[in-house]
Amino acid sequence: MRIRAACLDVLRLSVLAITSAFIVACQSPVERGKYLVAITGCNDCHTTKKIGPNGPEPDMSKLLAGYPEDFKLPAPPNLQPAAPWGIVTTPTLTAWSGPWGVSFAANLTPDQNTGLGIWTEEMFVNAMRKGKHMGISRPILPPMPWQDIAAMSDADLKAIFAYLRTIPPIVNHVPDPIPPTGSE
C-alpha cells in the first residue's frame, strides 16, 4: 500500500511537471514577456503611480512610460554618503537620488522619439546584459537592477522585448540623469 501511495505521488508530480512545461512551451514570446514583466517588478519603477484608496498604485494609463515629464521636481535633499539614509525617491518611484546623482526611470513604451521605438532586440539584450545605455554607451545607473535581469535567458530577454513592442506607445520625454553634485 505504501509503495502504491508513493507511486501515485510520483505520478502526480510528473503530471504537474509535464503540465507546467507544456504551459511554458505553448506561451507565445509576447505572453511570456508580459508574464515576466508582471512578476519581475518592471512596473515598480517604470510605471508612475496615482493615489488610490490604499496609497500609491500603478497608473496603468501610463503603463511603463517612466518618469512623467510634467512632474517638476525641486533639487534633491543634500544626502551625506556616510549618513544612514543615503537614497531618496519620489512617491511614484520613478526618480531616484543617491551617490550616483539623480536617475529617472526610462520610457519603455515603443514611442519612436521618447521610448524604445528605435531600439533593436540586440540593443535591448546588450543593455540588459552589459549595463550600458542602449547596449553600448554610458553605464546604466541604479536602481535599475540590470545585474539581476542579466541573469535571464536570451529567450526570456527577447520575450520581454517582444512584449514591450506591443504596449501602447506613450510620448513622454524622460530627462537625462543628473550627475552627483560636485562632479559636473
Considering only 30, 31, 44, 101, the residue that binds ligand HEC (CB under 6 A) is 44
Which CB atom, from 1 or from 39, has the smaller least distance to ligand HEC? 39
28-34 — which CB contacts under 8 Å span 24+ positions?
29/155, 29/158, 29/159, 29/162, 29/163, 30/159, 30/162, 30/163, 30/166, 31/163, 32/155, 32/156, 32/159, 32/163, 33/156, 33/159, 33/160, 33/161, 33/162, 33/163, 33/164, 34/163
The answer to whether 129 contacts ligand HEC (rule: CB under 6 A) is: no
Segment lying near ligand HEC (by CB under 6 A), choices 26-34, 41-49, 52-60, 75-83: 41-49
CB of 18 to ligand HEC, least distance (A): 28
CB of 157 to ligand HEC, least distance (A): 8
Segment lying near ligand HEC (by CB under 6 A), choices 15-23, 39-47, 68-76, 77-85: 39-47
The residues in 150-169 that bind ligand HEC, with binding defined as CB under 6 A, are: 160
**CB distance 128 to 157 below 8 Å:** yes
The answer to whether 103 contacts ligand HEC (rule: CB under 6 A) is: yes
The answer to whether 65 contacts ligand HEC (rule: CB under 6 A) is: no
Binding site for ligand HEC (CB under 6 A): 40-42, 44-46, 96, 103, 105-106, 108, 127, 133-134, 140-141, 143-145, 149, 160, 177
